């Protein structure tokens, strides 16, 4: 053992550095950021530690602190502009970043030693230090992975629209993830500098960036253990293939190619469903024990609830929009639309022919589409153009015409995400299982159980939501909406494409909720009988304008409506 260790000391150290880099990668790719900035963060950490240690004799722990600081600061700076970019653009922007860092290090020779390299860095990092860093990073990621923060990470990777309507501040989470990635990569760089002793800018270019990415993809990007496995195999494989001398790189390339092609989800992918199910079964068993409490109407334990839940008792409308105008090119999708949904719940219908602007209006209210003019007040707060997450956090939930779910996550997780706006513990708090975080989670699980039972989704709780039928996905949406007890629910054609049984479930649910007077429903529909039977009040749109409003009976008699909309039925 000892002889083997001494013979392989260097590669053991390098594989640990690579694992640390892989964990940094996971922190970004865990929410879908294809980051090639790892090489740049690593370079920042390596030079920060190497230069301060060699030139200024800075102590060992301090150099590692500086390395993390350099990686973290740099990532925070570049995160601000790049997190808005879509996947490929993000990948290329971060690659450009790494290349610029390396080119600057070449150019900045009086600090970095230029392309020749920076030599004689004290070799102070031991294998034990590296092992501690790896275990610490993995433990941190495991805490995050198992918490609400990790659930949000996976949700962002799965569908950003669902996240936005669940009140997730996507950019904030992306910023945190990329910064964590920078800190871990910076630390890896700082240790790498003091293992190797020599730094060259060419070591931190595209080759490194792609290598780090391949660790995560090879092993599997959905769990941090994938990055560990990927880094281990891809570091050791060339070592074992050394006997093939010249052909070593070809074989390594073949292995990489083969694994990614045969298992696009990575090596740990096959274990995914299995582990998740075990974990869930345990949790659900504990939840059934408290079942009597759950059948009682979900009463809030969330401290946020009083502010969030519906009736404000002061007569402030749940939703008040005025003078909304929206143009798409030459099309006036909405012109001067105003409507008010008063406090105290109710079911409001929104009808109108195709292209009359119903969905655009819903998108303006829930913050997806910023209007050209006009204002959107949610319970008295002006949230015009503030984005969907802000509106969701003010107590507005919605469904889509085509139901959207987090396809690669369990139904249970899909419903739990609905509780996101109610949570008190933030992204930085919930991984550490503070009292508030534990209480949030307990309450969220309880509410999700109730919602699953309400919509008959219990048998599917641990299925991937993407494997469900259209109608079942609609039920998942409804469960996700009802779980946060919102003040306003926007339903975009909830009866389209689903069977009569499901329509019955939906109308039963709405009727039952009407009595509570807590939630206002705004339902855009083409199914006129459904609207007329269920709604307390109906808005009619035509050509981007509000044509009429009133009680269903009055609307059915309204001449203009009959002419414009019901047409032949009149």
Partner 1 sequence: MREAVQQIINGLEAGGAIALFALGFTLLFGVLDIINLAHGATLTIGAFVGYYAIAHYGAPLIAALAVALVVGAITGVVLNVVAFRPLRRRSRTELSALIVGLALLLLINSVLQIVSKTRVYTFPPETFGGAPVRLGWGLTVGRLQLYILVIALLLGGGMFVFLRNTQRGRAIRVVAWRTDVARSLGIPVERIISYTFAIASALAAVAGVLFGLAYNYVFYDMGTPYLLTGIAAVILGGLGNVLGAVIGGLVIGVVGSLTAQYLNSDMVDIVTFSIIGILLVLRPQGLLGRAAVRDI
Question: Which residues would be at the binding site for partner 1 (CB under 8 A)?
Answer: 29, 34, 81-82, 84-89, 91-93, 95-97, 99-100, 102-104, 106-107, 160-161, 163-164, 170, 206-207, 210, 213-214, 217-218, 221, 246-247, 249-250, 252-254, 256-257, 260-262, 264-265, 368, 387-389
Q: What is the DSSP letter of 429?
A: T
Tell me how far, at minimum, the Cβ of 112 lies from partner 1, in Å.
Answer: 12
Q: How far is the CB of 381 from partner 1 (least distance, A)?
A: 19
Q: Whose CA is closest to 194, among 45, 372, 308?
A: 45
Which of residues 215 and 537 has its CB atom nearest to partner 1 in the complex? 215
CB of 236 to partner 1, least distance (A): 17
Residue whose entry in the numeric block shows the structure tokens 């996976």: 154
Query: Between 89 and 432, whose beta carbon lies closer to partner 1?
Result: 89
The two structure tokens encoding residue 145 = 């992975």
CA dihedral 542, 496, 420, 396 (to 10 degrees): 20
CA 97 to CA 54: how far, in whole Å? 26
- How near is the Cβ of 251 to partner 1 at its closest, in Å? 9
Q: Quote the DSSP letter at residue 199.
A: B
Q: What are the tokens at 400? A: 């889509």
Among residues 481, 510, 509, which one has the least CA distance to residue 418?
481
With residue 408 as reference, give the H or E element that holds it.
Answer: none
Closer CB to partner 1, residue 214 or residue 356? 214
For residue 86, CA distances in Å to 78, 93, 387 come to 15, 10, 18
Question: In angstroms, rounded to a whole number, what is the distance separating the alpha carbons of residues 517 and 174?
Answer: 37
How far out from the chain centre does Cα 71 lie? 23
Q: How far is the CB of 81 from partner 1 (least distance, A)?
A: 4
Tally the C-alpha atoms within 13 A of residue 205's C-alpha that lie toward its C-beta: 10
- Least distance to partner 1 from the beta carbon of 114, Å? 9
What is the DSSP track for 442-479?
A: HHHHHHHHHHHHHTT-GGGTTSBGGGS-HHHHHHHHHH
Cβ distance to partner 1 smaller for residue 250 or 553: 250
Assign 543 to helix, strand or coil: coil
Q: Which residue has the tokens 């920078």?
A: 182
Closest to partner 1 by CB, 86 vs 242, is: 86
- At residue 38, φ and ψ (nearest 5 deg) are -55, -40
Q: Are 13 and 127 in contact (CB under 8 A)?
A: yes
* DSSP β-bridge partners for residue 286: none
Taking CA 507 as the corner, what is the angle to CA 505 and CA 508, rounded to the nearest 5 degrees? 65
Task: Indicate the residue among 223 and 514 with the shorter CB distance to partner 1.
Answer: 223
**Which has the closest alpha carbon to 149: 432, 406, 431?**
431
Nearest approach in angstroms of CB 161 to partner 1 is: 6
Structural contact between residues 276 and 389, judged by C-beta atoms closer than 8 angstroms: no
Q: Which two tokens stand for residue 379?
A: 């319970």
Q: How far is CA 420 from CA 344, 395, 416, 436, in A?
A: 24, 11, 7, 14
Instruction: Find the shortest distance in angstroms from Cβ 192 to partner 1.
Output: 22
């Amino acid at each position: 053992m000892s002889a083997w260790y001494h013979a392989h000391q260097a590669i053991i150290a390098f594989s640990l550095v690579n694992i640390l880099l892989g964990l940094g990668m996971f922190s970004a790719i865990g929410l879908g950021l294809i980051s090639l900035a790892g090489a740049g963060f690593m370079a920042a950490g390596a030079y920060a530690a190497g230069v301060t240690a060699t030139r200024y004799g800075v102590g060992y722990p301090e150099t590692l602190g500086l390395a993390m600081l350099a990686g973290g600061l740099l990532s925070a700076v570049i995160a601000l502009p790049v997190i808005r970019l879509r996947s490929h653009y993000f990948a290329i922007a971060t690659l450009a970043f790494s290349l610029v860092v390396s080119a600057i290090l070449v150019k900045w020779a009086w600090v970095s030693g230029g392309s020749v390299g920076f030599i004689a860095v004290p070799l102070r990092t031991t294998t034990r230090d590296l092992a501690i860093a790896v275990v610490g990073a993995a433990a941190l990621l495991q805490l995050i992975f198992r918490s609400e923060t990790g659930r949000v990470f996976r949700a962002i990777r799965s569908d950003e629209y669902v996240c936005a309507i669940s009140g997730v501040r996507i950019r904030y989470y992306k910023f945190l993830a990329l910064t964590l990635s920078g800190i871990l990569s910076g630390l890896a760089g700082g240790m790498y500098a003091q293992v190797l002793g020599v730094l060259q800018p060419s070591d931190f270019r595209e080759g490194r960036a792609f290598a780090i990415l391949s660790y995560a993809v090879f092993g599997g990007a959905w769990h941090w253990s994938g990055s560990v496995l990927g880094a281990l195999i891809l570091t050791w494989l060339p070592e074992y293939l050394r006997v093939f001398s010249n052909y070593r790189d070809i074989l390594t390339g073949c292995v990489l190619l083969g694994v990614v092609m045969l298992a696009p989800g990575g090596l740990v992918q096959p274990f995914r469903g299995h582990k998740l199910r075990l974990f869930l079964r345990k949790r659900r068993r504990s939840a059934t024990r408290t079942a009597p409490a759950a059948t009682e109407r979900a009463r809030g334990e969330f401290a946020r609830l009083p502010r969030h839940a519906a009736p404000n008792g002061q007569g402030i409308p749940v939703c008040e929009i005025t003078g909304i105008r929206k143009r798409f090119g030459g099309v006036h999708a909405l012109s001067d639309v105003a409507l008010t949904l008063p406090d105290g719940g109710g079911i409001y219908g929104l009808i109108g022919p195709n292209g009359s602007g119903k969905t655009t209006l819903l998108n303006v209210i829930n913050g997806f589409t910023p209007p050209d003019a006009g204002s959107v007040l949610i319970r008295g707060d002006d949230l015009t153009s503030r984005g969907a997450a802000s509106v969701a956090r003010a107590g507005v939930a919605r469904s889509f015409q085509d139901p959207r779910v987090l396809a690669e996550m369990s139904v249970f997780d899909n419903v739990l995400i609905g509780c996101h706006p109610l949570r008190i513990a933030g992204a930085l708090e919930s991984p550490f299982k503070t009292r508030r975080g534990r209480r949030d989670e307990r309450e969220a699980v309880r509410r999700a159980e109730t919602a699953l039972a309400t919509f008959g989704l219990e048998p599917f709780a641990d299925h991937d939501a993407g494997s469900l039928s259209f109608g079942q996905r609609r039920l998942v949406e409804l469960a996700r909406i009802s779980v946060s007890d919102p003040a306003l629910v926007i339903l975009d054609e909830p009866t389209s494409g689903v069977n009569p049984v499901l329509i019955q479930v939906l109308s039963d649910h709405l009727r039952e909720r009407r009595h509570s007077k807590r939630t206002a429903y705004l339902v855009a529909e083409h199914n006129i009988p459904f609207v007329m039977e269920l709604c307390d009040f109906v808005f009619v749109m035509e050509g981007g304008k509000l044509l009429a409003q009133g009680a269903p009976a009055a609307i059915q008699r309204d001449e203009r409506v009959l002419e414009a909309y019901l047409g032949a039925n009149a």
